[in-house]
Structure 1
Amino acid sequence: MSINIMDIVGRVSYQCDIMFRVIDIREQNGKKIAILYGEDIRLIADAPLEDLLAVSQSMREKKAKEFYTREEQSLQLFQQDVDLLKQRREYEATDGYSKAYNYFQMPGRVLHLDGDPAYLEKCLSLYEKIGVPVTGIHCNEKEMPIKIGQLIDYYRPDILVITGHDSYSKAKGKKEDINAYRHSKHFVQTVKEARKKVPHLDQLVIFAGACQSHFESLIHAGANFASSPYRVNIHALDPVYIVAKISFTPFMERINVWDVLRNTLTGEKGLGGIETRGVLRTGMPYNREQNTES
């Protein structure tokens, strides 16, 4: 069976452990090589066509169900966190429930740059479900450093997500060498350009990276949170869970890094960060009548 662009495949040499989407087929040293994007994880890879096996519809449905179950579990845990935050804010804003409920909240605004349009759509759907205000932009990883300054000026986000696909190649160098990574250097440069616009770590909170990204370089460049400390793969939706937690945490509170990571799909091996303030702001009064009329 021939392999074509947009087919869902697995790599025989890896026991088809990950489902990939074929995004391109190229000629290399007389062999046809497929460029692959992970279906549920932010990994980019390449493989000879003879190493690829088309994934059956039944197997695709089985894998999708497994990921969907994990996503739902993470969403439920995250929703519990958000509900607790809301209850605490309501208690504080009403002086221990002794005053009328008369306040409104402004969650942090997110600008999400993604190298994969399919993942971006998945993320935007989750942001909407959670209630995070977001602008999503599909942008090739190599173009991100060039475009980020203008995008920050235009959208003025509280939280910036810089993600897409990445991978580490042992053949290109040691894990410490950023040139051994597919897109880490582009993510790093994008973070640096963003920090030229907003140097303060709490005025613009940045998440950067994808599967196997060079975590240390991203943090040193100015990211608050990044992937991947142990160079493992991260799930497509992990950035959403991190920035949503930040978006709903009051700006006077510091976020414990473990509190952010514990409900992600990947956990501390794939994600890490530094102590950071939340960005949610509470205001009053809230005019219910006017809000109802509008």
Structure 2
Amino acid sequence: MDIVGRLSYNCDIIFRIIDIKVENNKKIAVLYGEDFRLIADAPYEDLIRLDPQEIQKRSKEFRSLEEQSLELFRQDISLIKEKQEYEVTRGYSKELNYFQIPGKVLHLDGDPSYLKKCTDVYEKIGIPVYGVHCNEKEMANKVGQLIDYYRPDILVITGHDAYSKAKGTVSDLNAYRHSRDFVQTVREARKKVPHLDQLVIFAGACQSHFESLIHAGANFASSPSRINIHALDPVYIVAKISFTPFMDRINVWDVLRNTLTGEKGLGGIETRGVLRTGMPYKTEITE
């Protein structure tokens, strides 16, 4: 699969060519962002195959950003766990055996490679996840059945998106590649679980119609400033929710500050966490 850049954009984003189509006797490439959840069309002659060393250099830079963000998140989780330990034991003793159940995640993704990246991070930090690759246009028809089957605490609806100025204004939902599909999927999910704290939903991708997604029933969404979001941004938001106790409200800025995109690309509404604590914890049953 060719990795390319667009000459007219000074190769600012690395893309994968996923399809070639012909329009008016001209070859048009359909592109997926390699690190951003962006889909784009480009004339074939505007593309240049990137040098392997350049790809490696850019990938290294992004991996460094990902690791920094992940480390900040791990520090957050450590603080949450310390607070939980204090509250569970009332600060007197650390000898009480207790267990914690983080929120289960159902992650629908229109891109199988991004889905794999995301599930790898979920597993690294100990979040139970069910990943399902699903074309954006098919998500609305499948989400209800998937919710019934997996019964998640958190639902992620993402993939690729893009705003096209040629199709309409920024406020026009029809000017977006997949925002309407994401909105309809959120609505179908809310038919199953209407309460915002019984099923927490993240929805959207690069440049998605943020306001429509929130009004449809998403707790968190992209993209308030219609910018590109990183492939792993949904994971960092969801992980914070999964490890926040269900009696605690989540400050939206606390969720956004460790993402790679920040408040320009991501936003949301006040939401409760989904972590639950129980006791006693027994490694084995004795008679």
Q: Which bin holds the TM-score, normalised by the shorter protein?
A: over 0.9
Any stretches of 5+ residues in structure 1 without a counterpart?
Answer: 1-5
Matching residue within 71, 76, 97 for 1:81: 76
Report SS of the residue matched to 1:53: strand
Aligned equivalents of 2:78 and 2:268: distance in 1?
Answer: 24
Say whether 1:158 aligns with 2:161: no
In 2, distance between residues paired with 1:228 and 1:245? 19
- Report whether the alignment pairs 1:22 with 2:6: no
For residue 277 of structure 2, what is the aligned residue in structure 1? 282
Between Structure 1 and Structure 2, how many residues are aligned?
A: 286
Provide the secondary structure at the position in 2 that maps to 1:288: coil
Dislocated runs of 4+, deviation >4 Å: none
Alignment correspondent of 1:211: 206
Offset, 1:95: 1.5
| 1:45 partnered with 2:35 | no
- Distance of 2:205 and 2:182 partners within structure 1: 9
Residue 236 of structure 2 corresponds to residue 241 of structure 1: yes
The counterpart of 1:193, out of the listed 164, 170, 188, is 188
Match of 2:125 in 1: 130
Match of 1:220 in 2: 215
Cα distance in 1, alignment partners of residues 22 and 122 from structure 2: 39
SS class of match (2:28): strand
The DSSP-based 3-state class of the residue aligned with 1:188 is helix
Query: For the residues of structure 2 that align with 1:274 and 1:257, how far apart are their CA atoms?
Result: 7
Structure 1 distance, partners of 2:283, 2:119, is 28
Q: Deviations over 1:150-183 (max 9, x none)?
A: 0000100000000000000000000000000000
Q: CA deviation at 1:98?
A: 2.7
Using the TM superposition, give the Cα deviation of residue 99 of structure 1 relative to its aligned residue in structure 2, in angstroms. Answer: 5.7
CA deviations over 1:32-53 (Å, ceiling 9, x no partner): 0000000000000010111000
CA–CA distance in 2 between the matches of 1:142 and 1:289?
A: 47
Partner of 2:4: 9
Find the aligned partners of 2:90 and 2:32 in 1 and give their Cα distance.
Answer: 51
1:55 lines up with 2:59 in the alignment: no
Amino acid at match of 2:208: S
Counterpart of 1:192 in structure 2: which amino acid?
R
Is the Cα–Cα contact under 8 Å of residues 226 and 271 in structure 1 kept in the other structure? yes
Counterparts of 2:73 and 2:189 in 1: how far apart (Å)? Answer: 28
Match of 1:72 among 52, 67, 72: 67
Identity of aligned residues (%): 77
Q: Is the 8 A contact 1:90 1:101 kept in 2?
A: no
**How many Å separate the matches in 1 of 2:18 and 2:160?**
12
- CA RMSD in angstroms, aligned pairs only: 0.9
Normalising to structure 2: TM-score of the pair?
0.98
SS in 2 for 1:268: helix
Runs of 5+ in structure 2 lacking a partner?
A: none
1:36 and 2:31 correspond: yes
